Amino acid sequence: MNSSQSSFTDLNDWALIYQNLQKIQPEQLSSKLNLLFKNLPDFNDFIKLYECCKIDTGDLWNQNEELLLQLIVLSLNPKCMKNRFNWERVQRMMPKFWSLPELYFKFQSFYKPLFPRQPWSTFEERTLLQIILYINLIHIRNNSSRCKMKWSTIAYQYNRTCKSEIQRNAKQCRERWNNKLDPQINRDPWSKSEELNFLQLLLQNGRKWTEISMKLSMITNQRRRTEFALKHKFKQLKKYYGLRAKRLCDLKVSPHWNIQEADMISYKIELLEEITKKGQTQKYSFCEFWSFDHEQCLVFIKNGSLMQL
């Protein structure tokens, strides 16, 4: 247990906290929260629950820790009113150390969805962009070779800054940055050679959009395409279903594709290869990148067509 964490050395303090729990009205709270208890535990069970949570279970939450978090948070804010949570105090009262974003988002996961998926406003996008650019600037000043985004921390800082009723989680912030706000996004029209490279990577890798986006930008030496743009481009190929390739494709086919899908992609590759070869002199280039399994791979590009060595 972290030295800064509390303990049951003063039972009078915890008796006051337990007394606050009696103000909870589970019937009303159940309309907004997925409560992990039907009836409040008695004081002795409350202490036993605390002691059980001292056991180190790694970085994953167990059911006892989730229940204790609910009880501690609600003891400090019995009506679960917004902007009245004291997460620093909750952090001190937990038997095991958890960061403030971890506590915040774990408790947010107990909320029942009240709002449908809401579009991002200009103010929200500007706030998120400022937070991420500030983090990048700190890394540059510290001469860090790589800025690793911790999206739970970014989302926590974003929600504290915006103070909006609509809470954005880490996944929403990451997707908004990767698909809309990142200045490295390539929004130019697709060229035939880029579309050909995309289809070749798609045939070999399956629907691994993040991996394809990274490899495609390295092959074309251009800014990256978003996962949304890749999915949209793939949907445009649906009209080629039912058309079979004239010859067997030389590329390795991912096992994620069925025969019909592989034939459709191979047929489109044939069409694009014929288009790109017309009026072109032979051009050769090389590109190497690290695959997701940390194996270095060298590819050979002939007339804009990807050929793996």
State the Cα torsion 117-123-126-128 to the nearest 10°.
-50
Across 234-247, average pLDDT: 60
Tell me the pairing of strands 305-308 and 296-302: antiparallel
Residue 158 above 60 pLDDT? Answer: yes
Q: Where are the domains of the chain?
A: 11-108, 122-181, 192-280
pLDDT band, very low/low/confident/very high, at 39 (cuts 50, 70, 90): confident
Per-residue b or e along 2-33, where b marks 16 or more CB atoms closer than 10 Å to that residue's CB: eeeebeeeeeeebeeebeebeebeeeebeeeb
DSSP state of 180: I
Across 87-109, average pLDDT: 87
Angle in degrees, CA 153, 85, 155, rounded to 5: 20
Q: Name the pTM for this structure.
A: 0.53
Task: List pLDDT tens digits, range 111-134.
Answer: 876 555 788 999 999 999 999 988
Contact 218, 287 (CB under 8 A): yes
Percentage with pLDDT > 70 across the chain: 76
Residue 207 above 50 pLDDT? Answer: yes
**Residue that is written with structure tokens 């080629």 in the block:** 240
- Residue 274 corresponds to which amino acid? E
Please state the φ and ψ torsions of residue 286, each to the nearest 5 degrees.
-125, 155
